Amino acid sequence: MKLIIAIIKPFKLEEVREALTSVGVQGLTVSEVKGYGRQSGHTEIYRGAEYVVNFVPKVKLEIGVADGQVANVIEILAETAKTGKIGDGKIFVLDIEQTLRIRTGETGEEAL
């Protein structure tokens, strides 16, 4: 089992969710986060004053998947979240040692 963490632009969230649902991903966790990468923030003008935005708003998705789904989920994330502009985000894949569904007591891939 793997935990896929994706940091994407907020306006891409619904498109990504629909694409993941269509291939059988049954659940994901979404968090609103702020950060920066190579873009290192940007400047904006508000009421005539220019100011620097150091942390850019993003959305963090956490998706637990079976090993056999990893490549497909990564491909879908990469395709649907891509705008071709700086700040599209990142995808991280981590191992999951154990999973337990609290309600039913199911463990392993059955708990995903």
Residue type, 29: T
Radius of gyration of the chain (CA): 17
pTM of the model: 0.86
In this structure, the strands spanning 56-65 and 49-53 are: unpaired
pLDDT at 25: 92
Listed residue (93, 107, 87) closest to 12, CA to CA = 87
Q: Is the pLDDT of residue 41 over 70?
A: no
**Residues paired with residue 57 on neighbouring β-strands, in sequence order:** 34
Which tokens sit at 89?
A: 């985000």
**Residues paired with residue 93 on neighbouring β-strands, in sequence order:** 4
- CATH fold of 2-111 reads Alpha-Beta Plaits (3.30.70)
Question: Where are the domains positioned within the chain?
Answer: 2-111
Q: Is the pLDDT of residue 30 over 70?
A: yes
